[in-house]
Amino acid sequence: MNRALLTILLTFAGIYFAKAQSAVEERYLGSWMFMEVHHDIANRAYLTVYMENDVYQFRSLNCRYARFSAGYNFLPWLKTGVNYVPVSEPDRWRHYLEGDLMGILKSGDFKVSLRERYRYRLTGEGTHELRSRLKLAYDIPESKLSPYIAIELFFLGDRWKKTRHYLACTRDITNYMQLEWYYLYYTFNGLPPEHILGLGLNFEL
């Protein structure tokens, strides 16, 4: 387990510092801190609270938001959810409603998931956004590590808006707490890309 952890940490460090040097030169480097709490309430139903703080090193944007979710597992491989998302930016608040639909396929130590998320903006002029995320995770045998890669595409109406590319890993700390970290390469329609380092905790209560 120690060798697997060291290999993953060194890989992340090499990728991040290589990207970070480029990001410093381009002035697009940021860090995201987050926490998620998940609770199964009855049979297949669940509640989730997610909180995140986004900070960018070279531009005055400090963004905080939360996601309050209620969901239901229809089948072992299919679940859905409804979310309310308030977002705090330096000069304004935004409020969103979301609907999620996720399919999950497991094979041995591998897990593939496809999540479709529809988002409607409640404040200002209502906007319709579709987010499609494909994720591949691997549970390393005889360890508490689960590296994953993911890609998430954002569409505003019929127009591509941005894409997130994740290289990430989770590690179980206890039966109820998990550490998660990732490198995110963030590309935009008409804007320079950003390089993000994320770190957070996930709880099962």
The domain segmentation of the chain, as residue ranges, is 2-91+99-114+135-149
Residue type, 116: E
pTM of the model: 0.85
pLDDT value at 10 more than 80: no
SS3 54: strand
Unique residue bearing structure tokens 């550490």? 179
**What is the tens place of the pLDDT at every residue in 162-187?**
999 999 999 999 999 999 999 999 99
**What is the tens place of the pLDDT at every residue in 69-112?**
999 999 999 999 999 999 998 888 999 999 999 999 999 999 99
Contacts 24+ apart (CB under 8 A), 99-102: 100/69, 100/71, 102/78
pLDDT band for position 13 (cuts 50, 70, 90) = low
State the Cα–Cα distance between residues 51 and 34, nearest whole angstrom.
6
State the Cα–Cα distance between residues 115 and 133, nearest whole angstrom.
5
What's the alpha-carbon Rg for the chain, to the nearest Å?
18
State the Cα–Cα distance between residues 165 and 84, nearest whole angstrom.
24
